Structure 1
């Protein structure tokens, strides 16, 4: 997955594009997927992916498909 990271407000905190977040959250919802492994393969911390999943469940991160939480 392609990610175009822009510098965040704090040093060392990159801002990932919404499309990248959406792709990873959607992929993490597939049966049998290890969230930790998926995060590692994409160069992010697993806790960050868990945070994005939580944001998705709360309606703060929308997925491009018709998938619902």
Structure 2
């Protein structure tokens, strides 16, 4: 595991709920979801590397994709080379709210 992944793993769990389930840092969770969206990346491998159940991580990715497929998505052209990116803006109170850029095929 790289230094970046180990740092992300250390930031991911921020506490426990009364029933024993983990509480996750929204920014670290978002970074992990974005890592899963890179073509060719194994969601199961990333889950194992970060101490998560693969089904949990897959559900986070699916929820993120559903959210981005709604009205919060805006296509735009990035500065320079005409690269098209997709911004997925979060709803109030969900995560850090920073736009995410990923290539559109």
In the other structure, the counterpart of 2:49 is: 41
1:1-69 aligned within 5 A: 1=8, 2-8=11-17, 10-59=18-67, 62=90, 64=98, 65-67=100-102
Q: Hey, which bits of structure 1, 4+ residues long, moved more than 3 A?
A: none
Residues 2-59 of structure 1 show CA distances to partners (whole Å, capped at 9, x for unaligned) of 2242212x52211111112101110001111010000000111101101101110221
Provide the aligned C-alpha RMSD in A: 2.5
Figure out how many residues of one structure are paired with residues of the other and give that number. 67
User: What 5-or-longer segments of structure 1 have no aligned partner?
Assistant: none
Higher strand share: 2
TM-score, length-scaled by structure 1 = 0.77
Higher relative contact order (CA 8 A, sep 6+): 1
**2: CA distance, partners of 1:3 / 1:36:** 16
TM-score, length-scaled by structure 2 = 0.54
